[in-house]
Structure 1
Amino acid sequence: MTNVIKLSEARVGQRGVITEVGTHCHHQAEDVELERRLLELGFVEGARVELIHEGLFGRDPIAIKVDDMRVALRRREAASLTVDVGTEALAEAAE
């Protein structure tokens, strides 16, 4: 069974694998730019992620471990990343 969520909905300690980057609806130039920037930072499909910290006020920004590096994002940016936090994803992330 899979549990696919937006990365912005994750809680501290949750791990998973990125299944989709961006909305793939490129009507807005800012959406295209955000997707490009996320890809450059290493947020690619198949990358293992873990939410390691969230800000005190409004839980924003969040710190995310992407494979072997750490990146800070705002939750609205993290909303464009879809993550599988199911049991299969956790098994892959442990490898």
Structure 2
Amino acid sequence: MLLSELKKKQTAIITKVTRNLDSDSSQPDLIASRLETLGFVAGTAVQVVTKGFFGEDPILIQIGFTRFALRKAEAEKIEVELSHVGAAL
């Protein structure tokens, strides 16, 4: 499941950040690298705080005590699995 598919107030655990596989593999996926630098790494709990009205963009995400506003395209790079611990953040 993708982070962009979560509903408001749902909590999940990050399983991986997907990198684009372009024909020119020498170019790093800068968005994926930046997400990992910000703390979007496997095993981390995330929660969708809210979503924008039109097209659900941006998505407000919380990791620990930090909140991030992500575009839907950025949230689609993050694979998650649902967590049954809703208030673990």
Q: TM-score by structure 2 length?
A: 0.83
**Residue segments in structure 1 that go unaligned for 5+ positions in a row:** none
Q: What is the aligned partner in structure 1 of residue 21 from structure 2? A: 26
* 1:72 counterpart letter in structure 2: A
Residue pair 2:60, 2:70 contacting (<8 A) in 1 also: yes
- 1:65 is matched with 62
The answer to whether the aligner puts 1:42 opposite 2:39 as a matched pair is: yes
Counterpart of 1:46, as a letter, is G
Question: What is the RMSD of the two structures over their aligned residues, measured on CA atoms?
Answer: 2.2
Q: 2:10–2:86: 8 Å Cα contact kept in structure 1? A: no
Q: Structure 2 regions of 5+ residues with no counterpart?
A: none
The percentage of aligned residue pairs carrying the same residue is 36
Question: 1:17: which partner in 2?
Answer: 13
Maintained 8 Å contact 1:16/1:93 = no
SS in 1 for 2:29: helix
Q: Distance in 2 between matches of 1:34 and 1:94?
A: 27
The yes-or-no answer on 1:7 pairing with 2:17 is no
The aligned amino acid for 1:16 is A
Code of the residue aligned with 1:20 in structure 2: it is: K
SS of equivalent residue, structure 2 residue 8: coil
Q: Give the SS at the match of 2:57.
A: coil
Q: What is the identity, as a one-letter code, of the residue corresponding to 2:88?
A: A
Secondary structure of the 1:8 match is helix
